[in-house]
Every structure is written in structure tokens, then in C-alpha cells.
Amino acid sequence: MTPGRSCPLDYRTTPQEMARTPAPEGLRGLETLYVVGGLYGNLEALEALLAAFAAEPAARKALVFNGDFHWFDAEVDWFSEVQQRVLAHWATRGNVETEVAREQIGAAGCGCAYPDWVGDGTVDFSNRIIERLHAVLSPAQRQQLAALPAFLRAEVGGLPVGIVHGDADSLAGWGFCQEAMREAPMRAAARQACDAAGVQLFASSHSCLPVLQALGEGRWLANNGAAGMPNVQGNPCGLFTRVATTQAPRALAQVPLNAVGARSPLHLALCPIAFDFAAWRRRFDTRWPPGSDAERSYGQRIRLGPAYQVGQVLRQR
Ligand SMILES: [Fe+2]
């Protein structure tokens, strides 16, 4: 097993397992659902996100952090604040939480299961970041993370939603990444996974670039990219997925969604998180100065965004 390249066996999930798993009572009959992947310890983005959620007028609303809410927060106080505020809501494990919850960092390294197109340098940086992060957890924090589920099911206005970190088959799967969604067989596989899981929408994250992809026959994939990092060139905002009975007031991409059995169309959107960018940069730079692993791996993206265009996000076919 190559650290950072492989999927541990305990990452395996199946859509059939999701089909057998009911939505918890608190995630049923919702009017508004936020799914937030890849916060990466960004407390400023968390602050802005929680304010947006609090301002939602719906009586039945829920916020799910679907993994990798920790990453850059490799300091005791910083980590504790993220964990406390995130775990006040629903959460699933990402590969980051799964790996730092172990007694020792295992053979999976960061657990990212990076595909071949991601260079060895990035993989090495990630393996070293996870070791720094692992060192700040208390045993109680480790247990809290280990107890989180690998996926959740929710229901919004009659729409069944599958919430995963990677894809339907693995916590760190890349089957729902924007590159995969360019391939018709991968879209067909994602549609089949929807049917096998008994959901009409999968909400995922992990691969760090957003895509709102029609899968055919009313099925959709919403990959929010990252809540805590820029997602498209020239825009510093993080993103989250919003499914609701009302339109999102601000969205990078938004589509109407007809749920089978729903009385009226729902609205599926990738919404921006505009936060205090300067304060976040200061926090990041203090912990990860020039030359550090995280700065060398992520500094350019945090400053300039990825080489990914806003026009690539929404794919109606
Ligand atoms: Fe991840």
C-alpha cells in the first residue's frame, strides 16, 4: 500500500448499504439542507456558513458536514474549535477524520487515494500534513471522530438524498469528481448508484473541485468542491451544496429539481461562502509559513484559486 494512493478496506461502502439505511429523524421532512464538504479547518468560512444557515427561514432545516472539516487546523485550540462547532451539527467522516481518528497514522497516509494525475509531491505534502494534524488530537476527540458515520441519507421535500464524502463505493472514491463526470460511462455508473442506493441526488466532496452534474432521468450529482478553499479561478469563495424548497438567494450554479412525489419543484444549488479572506490568510500563514508543507501544496490555490472555470461547474447533460 502506497501512503496517500490507496484506499483502506474500511473505506468501502455500497449503495445497497445506503438503500438499507434510513434517514435519521432529524434529516427527514426537511425544507432546507446544506451539505458542506472540505471545510479544511477554515474557521472564517465556518463562521460565514453558520451565519447563512442561521438566516435560512425554513422551520425544518439541517446542516451536514460531509467530511474533511479538519485539515489545516493542526493546532490544539484551532482544532478544538473546529471540532466543537462542526459536531454541533450532523457530520460524516472524511478520509482526514478517519485517519486522524486512528491510534496511529496507518499505511493509507492521508487516505486521499489520489489518482495518477495528482503528482507525487502533492501526495507527500498531504501525508506530512496528516501527521502534524494527528499529533494535536486528544483521545476523546479521536473517539468522537471514529464514531461518525461514513455516509448519511436525508430527505428534502420528498427528494431522497445520499450524502457521501467520496463516491458511492468508497469514502475516498474519485468516481464523483469533475474529471470522471466528463465520461459518459462514469455518469451512467453514478446514475445506477443513485438507483441502487434509492436516492435521486448524491451530495459528495473530497475531490476538491465543484460540479453540478445531471445524470439523466432526474438524477443529479452535487459535488461542492471545497467549503474552505477557492473553487474557481478568480473567485476566493468556498462552496456548499444547498437543496431546498426555496431558491438560493446567491448561487454559483442552481437548477430546479423535480422530486418524485414532491408537490412542487425543489432547488439544487452550489452556493458561495464569502468570508473574511484576509483573516483566513493570516491564520493560515501563521501556522503554515512559506516553505511549510501546506503552504507549498495549497498556498497558490488559496491565493489565486484553481485553474478551473465557473463555466465548467454546471453540466445539464
Ligand atoms: Fe477527502
Give the pLDDT confidence of 132-174 residue by residue, as tens digits: 999 999 999 999 999 999 999 999 999 999 999 999 999 999 9
How many angstroms does the Cα of residue 85 sit away from the middle of ligand 1? 19
Q: Position of cell 486528544?
A: 138
Look at residue 100 and tell me if it is in a domain.
no
Look at residue 227 and tell me if it is in a domain.
yes
Look at residue 106 and tell me if it is in a domain.
no
What whole-number distance in Å separates Cα of residue 50 and Cα of residue 40?
Answer: 15
Look at residue 105 and tell me if it is in a domain.
no
How many angstroms does the Cα of residue 59 sit away from the middle of ligand 1? 31
How many angstroms does the Cα of residue 129 sit away from the middle of ligand 1? 13
The identity of residue 92, as a single letter, is T
pLDDT 10s digits, 189-223? 999 999 999 999 999 999 999 999 999 999 999 99
How many angstroms does the Cα of residue 248 sit away from the middle of ligand 1? 26
247: confidence class by pLDDT, cuts 50, 70, 90: very high
How many angstroms does the Cα of residue 265 sit away from the middle of ligand 1? 31
Look at residue 119 and tell me if it is in a domain.
no
Question: In the chain, how many domains are there?
Answer: 1
How many angstroms does the Cα of residue 172 sit away from the middle of ligand 1? 6
The rounded percent of the chain whose pLDDT value lies above 90 is 85
How many angstroms does the Cα of residue 287 sit away from the middle of ligand 1? 21
Nearest Cα neighbor of 32 from 219, 204, 266 is 266
Residue 126 has pLDDT above 70, yes or no: yes
Instruction: Return the higher-pLDDT residue of 145 and 126.
Output: 145
Look at residue 80 and tell me if it is in a domain.
yes
Q: Which CATH number do you get for residue 58?
A: 3.60.21.10
How many angstroms does the Cα of residue 290 sit away from the middle of ligand 1? 24
List the domain range (segments joined by +) for residue 156: 13-94+149-292
How many angstroms does the Cα of residue 113 sit away from the middle of ligand 1? 9
How many angstroms does the Cα of residue 301 sit away from the middle of ligand 1? 17
Look at residue 265 and tell me if it is in a domain.
yes
Look at residue 2 and tell me if it is in a domain.
no
Nearest Cα neighbor of 201 from 111, 270, 113, 274 is 270
Average pLDDT over the chain reads: 94
How many angstroms does the Cα of residue 226 sit away from the middle of ligand 1? 10
Residue 241 has pLDDT above 80, yes or no: yes
